[in-house]
Amino acid sequence: MQLPALHSMLHQASELAATKNASFEAVCRREEDAERVLAEVRAEKAVRAGSAQSANELVTALQEKIQRHTASTGPKTGPDTAEEPGHGDPPTVRASIQRATRELLLEQGEATTKEIREHIEKVLPHVNVKSTSPELTHLVKQGLLVRPRGGVYRLGGEWARAENR
């Protein structure tokens, strides 16, 4: 091959390399932008997760305080209290735990506290499972659950009758 032809090929190869390098640099900038956005989203997610956990803990603390107050003053009856979740109550962590527990017991018949907690973690990942035990105790006091033996729960009262219909 003659020298002018080689120079022409070198010029074309240089242009091709410059185009490919520019394309590669553009992709690298897009990747950096995407990583920056992803880091921002992850940071926002962490903040919101902490905020949600704090709100759930506040709900749990208030529910426990209400339970202690109710236990010391007797059960409250009226239009603001509900026998079952969803009857007059806005959706709450408490109602969610009740629904999840009932669904599990309808499916299994009976379950341990650990199994109920694991089920709640699975179906309600936003809920702090520390509120499970107080809620189970509350449901037993209401007669909606029974403890056939320590740490084991089964549907009782209205929930058991509804299952048999």
DSSP conformation class of 151: T
- Residue 18 falls inside a structural domain: yes
Q: pLDDT tens, 19-52? A: 999 999 999 999 999 999 999 999 888 888 888 8
- Residue 85 falls inside a structural domain: no
Number of domains in the chain: 2
Q: pLDDT tens, 113-133? A: 999 999 999 998 888 888 888
Last residue of a domain, one of 20, 39, 72: 72
Residue-by-residue DSSP string for 73-101:
H----STT--SSTTSSPPP-HHHHHHHHH
pTM for the whole thing?
0.45
Range of the domain at 54: 1-72
Q: What is the mean pLDDT of the chain?
A: 83
- Residue 135 falls inside a structural domain: yes
Residue 17 φ then ψ, to 5°:
-65, -40
Residues 3 and 56 reside in one and the same domain: yes
β-strand partners of 111 = 153
With a cut of 70, say whether residue 54 has pLDDT above it.
Answer: yes
Identify the pLDDT of residue 12: 96
Domain containing residue 154: CATH number = 1.10.10.10
With a cut of 80, say whether residue 84 has pLDDT above it.
Answer: no
Identify the pLDDT of residue 49: 82
Residues 129 and 157 reside in one and the same domain: yes
Residues 106 and 145 reside in one and the same domain: yes
H-helix or E-strand containing 112?
Answer: strand 110-112
